[in-house]
Amino acid sequence: MTDLAPWYVRAEPAALERALVNVLDNAVKFSPPRGTVEVSLMRGESTVRDHGPGICPDELPHVFDRFWRSPSARSLPGSGLGLSIVARTVHHAGGTIALTPAQGGGTVATLRLPGAPTPPPDAPHS
């Protein structure tokens, strides 16, 4: 099912795109081969759920720290900057991001961005 409804957010477009791509890349990186990544976007809330090994609860407080990498991820490509950049971008736009364990395994990334279903008065109309 596809339900398309606009949501206008004040943010730097390229930075927000990089942030969303980073979250999606992480979901793919930590999913099993041929695994499924579930994505939803509704009224400024985006969720990305992978079916990978998940994040240990004691590691969750550190995932947005610069250069921090889970011991289980240190053999994978990456610098440990991705999620800190995502968090900075989302917070700069007035939003929030959280990673939580998914029911049945994996991780859910939830991004919330303030906005509105109509463009602001000074925004160009498409």
Q: Which residue has the tokens 């990456």?
A: 78
Type of residue at 86: V
- Residue 3, pLDDT > 80, answer no
> Which pLDDT tens digit goes with each residue over 102-114?
999 999 999 999 9
Helix (H) or strand (E) holding 84: helix 82-92
Contact 22, 85 (CB under 8 A): yes
94 closest CA partner among 6, 18, 5, 9: 9
- Residue 18, pLDDT > 90, answer yes
Average pLDDT taken over every residue of the chain: 85
Count of CA atoms in the C-beta half-sphere (13 A) of 22: 23
Query: Which domains can be identified in the chain, with CATH numbers?
Result: 13-112 (3.30.565.10)
Percent of the chain exceeding pLDDT 90 equals: 53
Please tell me the pTM assigned to this model: 0.82
